[in-house]
Amino acid sequence: MKNSPEKHSEQSVIIPTRGQRPLGGKLFIPEDSIGHSILISSATGMLQKFYFAFSRHFASLGYTVLTFDYFGIGGSGGSPEELRENATNLIEWGSNDQAGALRYLKDVAPESQITVVTHSIGGQICGFNPEHPSIDRIIMVACQNSYWKNFEGGHRFKMWAFWNLMIPWGTSLFGYFPAKPLGLFENLPKQMALQWRRWGTHPNYLMGFRDASYLFDDLKMPILSLSFPADPLAPPLTVDWLARQYRSAPVRRIHYTDEGDKPGHFGYFRPPFKDTLWKYT
């Protein structure tokens, strides 16, 4: 089916959360709903606008789609001044932010089935989301374990330096992690970045810090976990590892290897893959 951009409308929205910190989002509303909604939970430091082409395509096909920025990113308090006052962490990105966006989408389209499309960290924090019973299906796009020894060659050294040099020094100097000046992604809240560092330097990654906030075993909806060639940030073994942490869910694991296609870590959401990768959604 061809994409028809005129068959939907868009509106910027403010998403309330139980943590009393509203999030900036965008709602893509189809002209003719097919009774299915998509929530996009983005990668670390990625602005929601990166996912707009993907969202417009599916809204034009009848899906209600919601994107949002995590607290401390872009339209959700991402200025340097706001970041210096931001004490959020990664668990709260799941338990408060992703959960709040899911509630909002459910309120907008209460009769719709919901697919949560997650990218990188987005698939990790599903395990902290108390609203998970509202999810009918999860697609995990390059969602992984980022412990530095899981990587090979020069990328192993880059990951070691990222966790052990860049994050500690950057957060100490700026009061937040200055990822944007370093040419990486959007700046990150200090406590969130330091927690991410603790995960990345532990052999069992986030599972090395398990406590009552961890809901991984409670998720029982179907999960599709995808990895891709030419993705140094999420090699297959790291994606395999995360998929295994959702032990109660039926997981379908695919390493996409179509001849000539090398999406890397970000290609799944780019329009050139509309006729191939987007068919998984």
Residue 3: the pLDDT is 45
pLDDT digits (tens, 9 = 90+) for 230-262: 899 999 999 999 999 999 999 999 999 875 678
pLDDT digits (tens, 9 = 90+) for 27-74: 999 999 999 999 999 999 999 999 999 999 999 999 999 999 999 999
pLDDT digits (tens, 9 = 90+) for 87-135: 999 999 999 999 999 999 999 999 999 999 999 999 999 999 999 999 9
- CA 169, CA 231: separation in Å to the nearest integer? 27
Domain boundaries, the chain: 7-280
Chain centroid to Cα 210, Å, comes to: 20
φ, ψ for residue 40 (rounded to 5)? -105, 120
- CA 186, CA 120: separation in Å to the nearest integer? 15
Q: How confident is the model at residue 281 (pLDDT cuts 50, 70, 90)?
A: confident
The answer to whether the CB of 85 falls within 8 A of the CB of 7 is no
In sequence order, which residues have a C-beta less than 8 Å from that of residue 117 and are 6 or more positions away?
A: 38, 39, 40, 41, 54, 138, 139, 141, 281
- CATH code assigned to 7-280: 3.40.50.1820
Q: Which of 153, 142, 155 is nearest to 256 (CA)?
A: 142
Residue 2: the pLDDT is 42
Residue 118: the pLDDT is 98
For residue 219, pLDDT beyond 70: yes
Residue 93: the pLDDT is 98
Q: What is the mean pLDDT of the chain?
A: 95
Q: Which of 74, 58, 59, 64 is nearest to 25 (CA)?
A: 74
For residue 5, pLDDT beyond 60: no
